[in-house]
Chain A
């Protein structure tokens, strides 16, 4: 079973609007990461937030982490058509008894129309 669950599954907005995606997870984590994927191809790492951090910014991206609620959010401000992609949260957490690995959610598909 997958660790993270993104919400919403799909999001459609106009250029210039803000896009917010949420992620919930189940177990303790070392860090949480957000990735972007265009057209089912390669993954682009967006941002990493550690378990002792509450908020991080990178350009138009803002990520928050609430470990008490086991949730994170990704905010993309002033969206552009080029932001159209699938966005995944992934938690660096215990995969099984052997050790930790990056565990992915199912993703949010963002469509930005001009």
Chain B
């Protein structure tokens, strides 16, 4: 099993729908992150969490919410999806020394 697992891998949804992207990690790390990547750009930070009780907004949190259900699980929700949220989404976890492990990504298309 992968250290960081994202589900689903691909998703097509309609404008206005609520959608949840899930992430789980087996690294045992406290820190988890959600990023978004638009074509031709680097990753942008949406939300991050340093432990189960800690949630922090990143650069582009508008239109998104997160839930840290357990140390190993960090979910990203789009409450009402819009087409410009079409992107590749990555979840990551990091160790205290700054080493990051990324999931394989979820390709989301909003039509």
Contacts and interface: CB of A to CB of B under 8 A. Distances in A.
Report whether chain A binds chain B. Answer: yes
Interface of A: 1-2, 4, 30-31, 33, 40-43, 45, 48, 50, 88, 90, 92, 95-96, 98-99, 101-107
Interface of B: 33, 35, 37, 39-45, 48, 50, 56-59, 88, 90, 92, 94, 98-100, 102, 104-105
Contacts of A31: 98
Given A95-B58, A95-B59, A45 B100 contact: yes
Given A2-B59, A40-B37, 9 more contacts: A2-B42, A31-B98, A42-B105, A43-B43, A98-B57, A102-B33, A104-B43, A105-B42, A107-B41
Main SS at interface, chain B: strand
B42 A104 contact: yes
